[in-house]
């Protein structure tokens, strides 16, 4: 992340308390924690979207796959 941009958002006061307490204990900055949490959440969301897109695709059993591959 070579260039940073500002993002303003409102959060639940209890979440802020927990965030500040964590950053004080861990020695990490709020910016660090939020950047990593958001990146992790977005990665998980993309994975879940990919799973959902493929949910109705046909499946094949392990035995059928072995037979198809002549194993």
pLDDT tens-digit profile of 23-62?
A: 999 999 999 999 999 999 999 999 999 999 999 999 999 9
Task: Give percent above pLDDT 70 in the chain.
Answer: 99
Structure tokens given for 31: 């910016």
pLDDT at position 2 is: 73
Does pLDDT of 6 surpass 90?
yes
The structure tokens 């094949």 sit at 60
Q: How much is the pLDDT for 46?
A: 96
pLDDT tier for residue 71 given thresholds of 50, 70 and 90:
confident
List, in order, residues 6 or more apart from 1 with CB less than 8 Å away.
Answer: 35
In the Cβ-directed half-sphere of 67, how many Cα atoms lie within 13 Å?
5
CA distances from 10 to 38, 48, 55, 59 (A): 15, 26, 35, 44
């Amino acid at each position: 992340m070579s260039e940073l941009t500002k993002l303003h958002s409102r959060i639940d006061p209890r979440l802020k308390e927990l965030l500040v307490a964590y950053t004080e204990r861990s020695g990490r900055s709020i910016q660090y924690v939020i950047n990593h949490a958001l990146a992790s959440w977005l990665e998980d969301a993309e994975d879940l979207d990919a799973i959902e897109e493929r949910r109705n695709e046909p499946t094949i059993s392990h035995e059928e796959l072995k037979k198809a591959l002549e194993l």
